[in-house]
Structure 1
Amino acid sequence: MASLTLNRVAWQMALSAAVATLGVFVFKMIKVRSVFAKLKKQGLPMPPWDYAAGHLMVLPGLLEKFPKGSQQSDAFTLLSYDYKHTDGCFYIDCWPFSSPLLIVTSPEVAMQACSQEHDLPKPAILIPFFAPLAGGPNLFDMNGTEWKRSRALFNPGFSNNVMQECIPHIIEEADVYVALLREHARKGDTFSLDVLTCDYMMDVIGVISINARLHSMTTHNPLAAAMRSSIQWHCQDEELNPFVRWNPMRPLVEWYNGRTMDRYVFAELDKRYEDWKNNEPATRAKSVMDIAIAAYMGERKASPKLDAEFKKWASAQIRLFLFAGHDSTAATIVYSLHMLSKHPEALEKIRAEHDDVFGGDVDSAAQVLKEHPEYINKLPYTTAVIKETLRLFAPASGMRGGKPGVFLRDKNGNKFPTEGIYIWIVHGAIQRNPEYWPEPHSFLPERWLVEPGHPLYPPKGGWRPFEYGPRNCLGQTLAMLDIKLTLAMIVREFDVQDQYAEWDRLHPSSGVKTVFGERAYQVAQGAAHPVHGFPCKVFSRKKSS
């Protein structure tokens, strides 16, 4: 009898929970659909919509035009071409997979969304994205006074002077990267350039951020391994498979990785704090972490140990730098090499520029830059190649939260209300918008060398890989330095050849295999990376006599 009573109670509780869950689901659906019903009634731009499914029925047909696993933003880039009368901007309802969205593909509208005038916040939707990577509130998802204080503490660590002083450390890691490329060239094997380059940039950002050599290119490092694991397990909004999206193992893996990263960073913080105490007040800043500790301790009296709250805050920022500083930069290096391999005329020009600046042999750049680090600023064509690569292969996009009474306006006079809406600034779409960029899908480094008034001259606010406005990327100087230095050390010594034909032979499949004609299309893996890790071979060029 008691058993029957317990079973009845259990069933009643389960039924109540199910009804409550269904009630919450229906309430949220009605709330979101009501927003879109109002937008539709106002005649605002959006694909065909209905109350039951929103725009979910539109996506399957759109995604069929792209390879499985490609970025959802590429589909929205294509969809934006249907809304030229609104400068490419439109609303999307993909609930329950995402919040209500205003897709922005116009430079002018994007600048408004990121301006100080509207002061639109980073939305809460970013918090779960960065939580497993940073482990807490960080410079990317903070707002208001908290963000301003954190940014001010780290700004000095990313100044031009500090970054230039980092060149010898970057070269030290680049030497290992070059040695590994030489070994691949000697063996003639096919390997993932993206994986190797991610390890390389992780080692670079480790030195810059925490003044520690991670050696992740050649051995196991717990910090680097935990970060890469969290990125590989990461689930993004475009993942529609519920078994992948809600894999019960993910929270356990992310918790373990987060604990590993925090333990490592806490230990490094303690080391750097001891160094600060022993050398204060004339501390020689050796890393971003050193500068943050010095700035923080400048506001209080020294104590035997670092404050636990500061360590937790600092760990989140350092983990963010480790993620953002290596992930997108590595992908850009790979894509730069890929574009140069596909465009021999550009490869010839960049090699000629390096011959002029660094002279000597094909491997002379490292020694020259050690003696004259300022020479890294004498590479206009190299910079143009990088900027054009970033235009075609934007590593990420921007996101802002709407506000009551805030309307964004396009060049045609259309007004877009933002209340209750997340604003998705799709960098790839903006940077390939044919209304602003002649030959938008072509690789033309000359865009960045022409004078204002030339047809190819880039539109204001149209190039946004580091975002635009007061919340632009803190580490953009370091990223550009890393990429320029890496190209300077390898483009004269190696030829890179993708092996996608071999990959397709070994992994036969049907369906679409390119995005905008590119086989090495981007997939979401933290930042956007080349699909399949960019399988390739490298070949050594003969040294100059």
Structure 2
Amino acid sequence: MASTSITTILSRGVSVIVIFAIVRFLVRGYIHRSKVRSLKAQGLPVLPHSMLFGHLIILDEFRKSHPPDVNIYHLHTWLASNFKLYFPTCEALPPVVYIDLWPFSDSLALVNDPTVASQFMTTKSLPKARMVKQFIEPLTGCLDIFCTEAKAWKQWRTKLNPGFSQRSLSAMVPEIMEEVDVFVKGLTEMAGVGKWGPVFQLEKKTTNLTFDVICRATLDMRLHEQTRDAESPLKAAFMDQLRLMGIIANAARGKVFGRSPWQSAALARNNRTIRSILLPAIQEKLEAGRTDLQRKTVIDLAIKNIDEGSSSISQTSPEFIDNLVSNLKMFLFAGHDTTTSAICFMTKALQDNPQCLTKLRDEHGTIVGPDTKILSTSPHLLNSLPYTVGVIKETLRLYPLAATIRESHPGFCLVDESTRYPMEGFGLWASAPVIQRHPRYWPKPDEFLPDRWTVPEGHPLHPPSSAWLPFSLGPRNCIGMQLAMIELQLVLIFTVRTFDIAEAWDKWDTIQ
């Protein structure tokens, strides 16, 4: 009799919990859906919206019209291409497009106008969106300058800025050149003499290059990733961490099932591995930091902010070490994800535009000359290559690799010429793919024209302010922008004088 009563009580308790969960789910859904409906009632342009599915139907239409592995970034340009279908009364894609993807994602507002976008990046620098921090948290614990806010962010940005200054990075050019030279030797081994060499994946080689450069520039640590037969423990743990983060962040899977116990264990194991490799390098920097004034890596300069007398990890606050490790992991993440892809896209752009390749080679021949070693003693020559910089910036314009998402607050609105867009409850996503190809801001928007970055202000091709977003805008812009630019410049200088590289998808498909 007693056991039956306990079973009944437990059953009723479970039923109450289930009913509560269902009611809570329905209430939250109603709030999300009603929020978008209220925007439409105010006369704002809104995508066709279902009270039951929100904008999930439109997302499904996007998925069906693209390959299964399509980058979500293509949603921006797909909406721009199909704006007449979804906004039949508009002459162009609206400056702000609201997206309701609940329960698989937070509500988003795609901001398609540079002046409007600058309002939450420059005029008022809003904090990074919660959904982005949730993605980064398994890697850095949100202790890095990408995730931190207010005083914590300002303190660490101040500590790290000197290491990414133009002066400091110019001093590191010889070390970066060493890594790029290894990259070139690897390409030489793959190239044919007077004919095409075997097909290979450029992205794998650029990933290894970027890992080597970032570790060299931040810690003066040589990974030799480009010449290893197998991945280093650092890269293996790091790449597995990113793989797990992608699974957890998957809207359809992670939101429903959350993080499994075995995923949590793997994330913790990877973080321990990464930390165990980085800590000895940090310890070495701490011990040499007071006496070795020649080294000017990012961490060398950051360590100068430690209180006098702290010359070992045991004497340095655990908080400082945790933040340092987290920021190093963030540098690896940001650099691997953006610079790696940028090199591949630059190669494609130059392949598709041989006249630009010729002009680029001419500039290098005139400024750098036949021997690239001159850059070791004269790194300032990198500042005399406007067309090279134009090739990089034009590549990043046509192929943006990331864009900021910010968190709004109650009462915050974005404003264009005649309309106020309420942002409360929406993540503000700067639509770099749309802004950077918008014909209103960019003449011949789909053409690869490095010259637009060399013409004077007032010229029809001159880039508009706030419409180039690869490294974001305002105080929260990418701290590693100059490092990325130097690496990309050196890759171009070292490779285009020697190699012709072409896509070979048909051949690649035959060997898979």
* 1:48-69 deviation per Cα after TM superposition (whole angstroms, max 9, x unaligned): 1121111111122233333322
Deviation, 1:203, is 0.5
Alpha-carbon contact 1:209-1:322 (below 8 Å) kept: no
**Which amino acid in structure 2 is aligned with residue 196 of structure 1?**
K
List aligned pairs for 1:253-292, cutoff 5 A: 253-277=266-290, 279=291, 283-292=293-302
Deviation, 1:427, is 1.2
Q: TM-score with structure 2 length normalisation?
A: 0.90
- The structure 1 residue matched to 2:243, chosen from 227, 232, 254, is 232
State how far apart, in whole Å, the 1-side matches of 2:504 and 2:266 are: 32
Corresponding position of 2:401? 395
Deviation, 1:377, is 1.5
State how far apart, in whole Å, the 2-side matches of 1:380 and 1:14 are: 68
* 1:146-174 deviation per Cα after TM superposition (whole angstroms, max 9, x unaligned): 11111011111111110001111101111
Alpha-carbon contact 1:239-1:245 (below 8 Å) kept: no
Please give the root-mean-square deviation of Cα atoms over the aligned residues, in Å. Answer: 2.5
- The structure 2 residue matched to 1:163, chosen from 165, 169, 178, is 169
Structure of higher RCO (CA pairs closer than 8 Å, 6+ residues apart): 1
SS at match of 2:296: coil
Corresponding position of 1:204? 213
SS at match of 1:340: helix
State how far apart, in whole Å, the 2-side matches of 1:431 and 1:422 are: 20
Distance 1:12 1:137, change over 3 A: farther
Distance 1:137 1:113, change over 3 A: same
Larger displacement relative to structure 2 (208-217 or 482-491): 208-217
Corresponding position of 2:334? 324
Deviation, 1:345, is 0.6
Distance 1:69 1:413, change over 3 A: same
Deviation, 1:483, is 0.3
Corresponding position of 2:502? 497
Deviation, 1:39, is 1.2
- The structure 1 residue matched to 2:185, chosen from 164, 179, 183, is 179
Corresponding position of 2:103? 96
State how far apart, in whole Å, the 2-side matches of 1:287 and 1:38 are: 52
SS at match of 1:496: coil
Deviation, 1:44, is 1.4
Alpha-carbon contact 1:93-1:100 (below 8 Å) kept: yes
Deviation, 1:114, is 0.7
SS at match of 1:382: helix
Larger displacement relative to structure 2 (172-181 or 56-65): 56-65
Deviation, 1:446, is 1.6
**Which amino acid in structure 2 is aligned with residue 260 of structure 1?**
T
Corresponding position of 1:218? 227
Larger displacement relative to structure 2 (248-257 or 442-451): 248-257
SS at match of 2:117: helix
Alpha-carbon contact 1:431-1:437 (below 8 Å) kept: yes
Corresponding position of 1:530? none
- The structure 2 residue matched to 1:305, chosen from 315, 321, 324, is 315
Question: Is it true that 1:488 corresponds to 2:493 in the alignment?
Answer: yes
Corresponding position of 1:542? none
* 1:45-94 deviation per Cα after TM superposition (whole angstroms, max 9, x unaligned): 22111211111111222333333221222122231352545743211101
Corresponding position of 2:458? 453
Corresponding position of 2:86? none
The structure where helix makes up a greater share of residues is: 2
- The structure 2 residue matched to 1:342, chosen from 321, 344, 352, is 352
SS at match of 1:439: coil
SS at match of 1:35: helix
* 1:378-412 deviation per Cα after TM superposition (whole angstroms, max 9, x unaligned): 211111110000001111011111122322112x3
Deviation, 1:9, is 5.8
Alpha-carbon contact 1:138-1:316 (below 8 Å) kept: yes
**Which amino acid in structure 1 is aligned with residue 411 of structure 2?**
G
State how far apart, in whole Å, the 2-side matches of 1:236 and 1:77 are: 25
State how far apart, in whole Å, the 2-side matches of 1:337 and 1:245 are: 40
**Which amino acid in structure 2 is aligned with residue 398 of structure 1?**
T
Corresponding position of 1:519? none
Question: Is it true that 1:128 corresponds to 2:134 in the alignment?
Answer: yes
State how far apart, in whole Å, the 2-side matches of 1:86 and 1:345 are: 33
Corresponding position of 1:536? none
Larger displacement relative to structure 2 (5-14 or 440-449): 5-14
Alpha-carbon contact 2:113-2:435 (below 8 Å) kept: yes
- The structure 1 residue matched to 2:470, chosen from 461, 465, 473, is 465
State how far apart, in whole Å, the 2-side matches of 1:8 and 1:36 are: 42
Distance 1:359 1:85, change over 3 A: closer
Query: Structure 1 unaligned runs (5+)?
Result: 508-545
SS at match of 1:43: coil
Larger displacement relative to structure 2 (397-406 or 6-15): 6-15
Deviation, 1:27, is 3.0
**Which amino acid in structure 1 is aligned with residue 147 of structure 2?**
D
Q: TM-score with structure 1 length normalisation?
A: 0.85
SS at match of 1:416: strand
Corresponding position of 1:529? none
